[in-house]
Amino acid sequence: MRHIAVVGSGPAGYYTAEAAQKKFGDDVRIDIIDRLPVPYGLIRFGVAPDHQSIKGVSKRYEAVNLSENVRFVGNVTVGRDVSIEELQSLYDAVVLATGAPADRKMGIAGEDLPGVVGSAAFVGWYNGHPDFADLNPDIEGPGAVIVGNGNVALDVARILSKTRDEFHGADIVDHALDKLDHSGIRRITFLGRRGPHQIAMTPKELGELGHLTRATPIVDAADLPPVGDDALLEPGMRKSVAHLREFAANADTPKDIAVEFDFFAMPVALEGDGRVERMIVERTRLDADLRSVPTGERYVIPCRLVVACIGYQTPPIDGVPYEHGRGRFANDEGRILPGLYCVGWARRGPSGTIGTNRPDGFAIVDLIAEDITDSSSKFGRPALDALLEGRGVDIVTFRDWQNIDKAEIARARDGAPREKFVAVDDMIAAKKAAG
Ligand code: NAP
């Protein structure tokens, strides 16, 4: 028998568990540990609430969880309730699948002013993450700046632009929907430090921006490279740039909210009296390696909300080697130390789609199989349970989660799949209410 602990119940964690089941069959016990009482990490808290079809992948993770040799152990914080060293003493392999839930910093003056938030916080707010449920962002408007030209920037702009009707079928939490009803934002600026050919926005997601009831995407045709240059792009990028060209052609029929693409523009500083009121921006150009270079030309964008969507990082864990520059655990193809591994965004940084984590999970299990050939002398599950019980930790099982899930579905507003509990205490209360 092999004992594997997976820390983190998002996509990377579940694909690792699935791979371990396939590889070791009945000869493995896998505990998926999460600090929250609810599973699925990025699927629940990162994927946009109006992208329900993407969230459907959690059905696959549920199937993994309903098998005998996999167990969800929620409401357990590694580093507080149990240490990495303790897990290593109990399991043959400990796999960190902790994702990259912390914001990267822009590193500019004024970044800490009220009104400036990172995308982890903002996305966590509208997705009901307990850490960010109280964010209460200022959306009085009229100006908002979204820094970055990736898919998260698109999610944030779309959520800020949609009408209540357009959230039909979405699991955006009530506190966000109610607040967005009274939004005064009328101008959203995407700040991209490079150009249209360097965006990290995928075509389907970018195309959605052209079909919003009250927002118009605006692209300055002068920013676009000659059409012929699009042929040099890979097919996905070519489609994305085609959307930018459509936006440039249609920008003369603005709706209530203008969503402007400001290319070749980097944030320099944020200023305001007690809160953000404006961003100082510098024009850039591309060098021969397609990096952005400041030109010295500066201008001001008035704004009351700035959302930095510039990527994420993995929070370090005491005693685990960490690569600070890249914001992830120091690892060699997923190996950190003997018996300690990482997978998904915690291994490679925040890139790729949800599906990218599947081969990642299978690859890490291949390494574990290479490294752990002997039958285990570790105690695994029962020893973890005894240790946590001794410390008074109230663990949440998958059955408990199913009860929380039912309670969330039961309290959904009309047309929504669920109304999430946004406080850990309420999640635990729902588990207890179900007995
Ligand atoms: P991302 O794709 O890496 O995009 C980050 C953006 O921020 C880039 O445009 C980058 O520009 C810019 N940036 C980075 N540092 C900056 C700085 N200091 N100043 C100004 N701009 C800066 O990251 P993401 O949008 O957070 O997405 C993370 C991953 O999740 C991606 O793989 C994404 O595709 C995926 N995702 C997918 C979906 C979906 O499929 N529906 C939704 C959300 C997220 P440079 O290119 O110049 O570095």
Tens digits of per-residue pLDDT, 8-53? 999 999 999 999 999 999 999 999 999 999 999 999 999 999 999 9
Do 70 and 135 reside in the same domain of the chain?
no
Do 113 and 94 reside in the same domain of the chain?
no
Provide the CB-side half-sphere exposure for 138 (13 A, CA): 17
| Three-class secondary structure of residue 143 per DSSP | strand
* Distance in Å, CA 199 to ligand 1 centroid: 8
Mutate to test the pocket of ligand 1, among 105, 152, 326 (most ligand atoms within 8 A of CB): 152
CA distance 415 to 170: 8
* Distance in Å, CA 163 to ligand 1 centroid: 25
**Which protein residue has the closest C-alpha to ligand 1 atom 2?**
150
CA distance 54 to 47: 7
Average pLDDT over residues 404-421: 97
Q: Is residue 423 part of a domain?
A: no
pLDDT at 237 over 90: yes
Q: Note the maximum CA span of the chain.
A: 70
Do 44 and 135 reside in the same domain of the chain?
no
CB 345 within 8 A of CB 328: yes
Pairing of strands 292-302, 278-286: antiparallel
**Which protein residue has the closest C-alpha to ligand 1 atom 16?**
310
- The per-type count for the chain, helices as H runs and strands as E runs, is 15, 19
Q: Is residue 215 part of a domain?
A: yes
Q: Is residue 213 part of a domain?
A: yes
- Distances from the Cα of 170 to the Cαs of 4, 248, 296, in angstroms? 35, 30, 44
pLDDT in tens, 129-154: 999 999 999 999 999 999 999 999 99
* Distance in Å, CA 120 to ligand 1 centroid: 12
349 DSSP assignment: -
Do 241 and 300 reside in the same domain of the chain?
yes
Q: Of 158, 159, 139, which Cα lies nearest the Cα of 303?
A: 139
Q: Where are the beta strands (DSSP E) in 325-424?
A: 328-329, 335-337, 340-342
Pocket lining for ligand 1, CB < 6 angstroms:
106, 147-153, 155, 192-194, 198, 200, 202, 205, 266, 309-311, 350-353
User: What is the position in ligand 1's atom list of the atom closest to the CA of 312?
Assistant: 26
Q: Is residue 407 part of a domain?
A: no
**Which protein residue has the closest C-alpha to ligand 1 atom 3?**
311
* Distance in Å, CA 371 to ligand 1 centroid: 35
User: What is the position in ligand 1's atom list of the atom closest to the CA of 356?
Assistant: 32
pLDDT at 274 over 90: yes
* Distance in Å, CA 339 to ligand 1 centroid: 32
Single-letter amino acid code for the residue at 116 = V
* Distance in Å, CA 65 to ligand 1 centroid: 31
Q: Where are the beta strands (DSSP E) in 181-321?
A: 187-191, 215-218, 257-262, 265-271, 278-286, 292-302, 305-308, 312-313
pLDDT at 256 over 70: yes
Do 251 and 110 reside in the same domain of the chain?
yes
Confidence of residue 252 (pLDDT cuts 50, 70, 90): low
**Which protein residue has the closest C-alpha to ligand 1 atom 15?**
310
Structure-block tokens of residue 378: 């570790």
Q: Is residue 421 part of a domain?
A: no
CA distance 399 to 435: 11
User: What is the position in ligand 1's atom list of the atom closest to the CA of 106?
Assistant: 18
* Distance in Å, CA 277 to ligand 1 centroid: 25
Do 288 and 344 reside in the same domain of the chain?
no
CATH assignment of the domain containing 288? 3.50.50.60
Average pLDDT, the chain: 96
Pairing of strands 28-33, 70-73: parallel
Domain total in the chain:
2
Mutate to test the pocket of ligand 1, among 57, 123, 126, 149 (most ligand atoms within 8 A of CB): 149
Q: How many CB atoms lie within 10 A of CB 317?
A: 17
CA distance 293 to 312: 23
Helix axes 424-433, 398-410, angle to 10 degrees: 100
Query: How far is Cα of residue 184 from the mean position of the Cα atoms in its chain?
Result: 26
User: Exposed, middle or buried by CB within 10 Å (0-12, 13-18, 19+), for 125?
Assistant: buried
Q: Is residue 413 part of a domain?
A: no
Do 41 and 116 reside in the same domain of the chain?
no
pLDDT at 223 over 70: yes
pLDDT in tens, 239-251: 999 999 999 998 6
User: What is the position in ligand 1's atom list of the atom closest to the CA of 310?
Assistant: 7
Residues of the domain holding 262:
105-308
* Distance in Å, CA 416 to ligand 1 centroid: 28
User: What is the position in ligand 1's atom list of the atom closest to the CA of 194?
Assistant: 47
pLDDT at 118 over 90: yes
**Which protein residue has the closest C-alpha to ligand 1 atom 38?**
151
Do 289 and 233 reside in the same domain of the chain?
yes
Confidence of residue 343 (pLDDT cuts 50, 70, 90): very high
User: What is the position in ligand 1's atom list of the atom closest to the CA of 311?
Assistant: 26
| Three-class secondary structure of residue 88 per DSSP | helix
Average pLDDT over residues 110-125: 98
User: What is the position in ligand 1's atom list of the atom closest to the CA of 46?
Assistant: 43
- Distances from the Cα of 146 to the Cαs of 116, 119, 260, 322, in angstroms? 10, 9, 10, 29
CATH assignment of the domain containing 55? 3.40.50.720
CA 171, 158, 280: angle at the middle one, nearest 5?
A: 130
User: What is the position in ligand 1's atom list of the atom closest to the CA of 153?
Assistant: 25
CB 183 within 8 A of CB 164: no
